[in-house]
Chains A and B, each alone.
Chain A
Amino acid sequence: MRFAVCVFPGSNCDYDTFYIIRDVLEKDVDFVFYDQKDLSKYDCVVLPGGFSYGDYLRPGALAAKSPLAEAVVEFAGRGKLVLGICNGFQILTELHLLPGALLPNLNMRFVCKDVYLRVENNSTTLTKKLDEGEILRIPIAHHDGRYYVPEDELKRLEERGQILFRYVDRDGNATDGANPNGSVSNIAGVMNKEGNVFGMMPHPERASEDILGSHDGLMLWYSLISD
């Protein structure tokens, strides 16, 4: 399985993501730059975290109009795997590959801390190695992570099992106190209805080795690479 890690001007989790794929998962991986258009040799494309184009206009808005983004849309259309982490998630919503949008955090602050996530659907390519209801501790680091979808769309996401993770407290309850940014229904990650495009605000690449304080993110990567 061959990975591509997308690099836009202002991406800053690209090396962390590359490192986890190459050195921890021991898979083939290349950086692919914003002006490239060919993703034909890859099986999975990861859009990493950061501040592509300085978050100008809206987070992800300018990256979504780059040549590489066009290639990502075509790649996803062929049923290939796409994972967006943090800014990558914002880019995927701007591309309409994922439903909804990511608004400024309700408290208007940059929030950087570990959060607890509950696995809402474990029958997806990204979560199949996890148990439903399993609690993961993974860090977030964002200013614009307030997931928003209109109510009717939220209902459809729920019915189709497109909600991957919710922010919860240590005991697994999706309370207001456990919601770090004001996301609708405590949503931390979603997928498209075809089940090949995934987006999440938390950073699994920052929780994939014990030396980083948590390896809870590792099972997401293992899910991705296993049949």
Chain B
Amino acid sequence: MKRVRVLIKPKEGLLDPQGRAVEEMLKDNGFEVRHVKVGKLVEMEVEEGEDVKKLVEKFIINPLIEDYEIEEL
């Protein structure tokens, strides 16, 4: 088995109200930040030969509104 982590974030160019709210909060607290995005994380253990990309694209993300990265842990 291998452990993988899927990082999902709102697609580039799409308005992300959560990210915007967090960005404003950080600015209000004196931090210089920009392009804050709030996404989700899915971790799983899968068989070595499992096609994780296919699993993610078909069952986990919506490609119209989300970008993703797969990390092997």
Contact = CB atoms under 8 A, between A and B. Distances in A.
B21 A61 contact: no
A44 to B, nearest CB: 27
Contact of A148 (B17, B18, B21, B65): B65
B59 interface: yes
Max chain A C-beta neighbours (<10 A), residue from B21, B40, B60, B62: B62
Interface in B1-43: 14-15, 17-18, 21, 40
A67 to B, nearest CB: 15
Contact of A108 (B18, B60, B62): B18
A199 to B, nearest CB: 15
Interface string A51-78: 0000001100100010000000000000
A57 B60 contact: yes
A106 B64 CA distance: 18
A103 interface: yes
Interface in A135-189: 148, 150, 182
B21 A101 contact: no
A101 B59 contact: no
Contacts of B64: 100-101, 148, 150
B62 A101 contact: yes
Given A57-B60, A65-B59, A103 B65 contact: yes
A182 B62 contact: no
Contact of B14 (A58, A100, A103, A107): A103
A94 interface: yes
B14 to A, nearest CB: 7
Contacts of A105: 17
A195 interface: no
Nearest to B59: A65
Contacts of B17: 104-108
Interface of B: 14-15, 17-18, 21, 40, 59-60, 62, 64-65
Identify the 8 closest CB pairs spanning chains A and B, nearest first. A101-B65, A101-B64, A108-B17, A106-B17, A101-B62, A58-B62, A104-B17, A103-B65
26 contacts: A57-B40, A57-B60, A58-B62, A61-B62, A65-B59, A94-B62, A100-B64, A101-B62, A101-B64, A101-B65, A103-B14, A103-B65, A104-B17, A104-B18, A105-B17, A106-B15, A106-B17, A107-B17, A108-B17, A108-B18, A108-B21, A148-B14, A148-B64, A148-B65, A150-B64, A182-B15
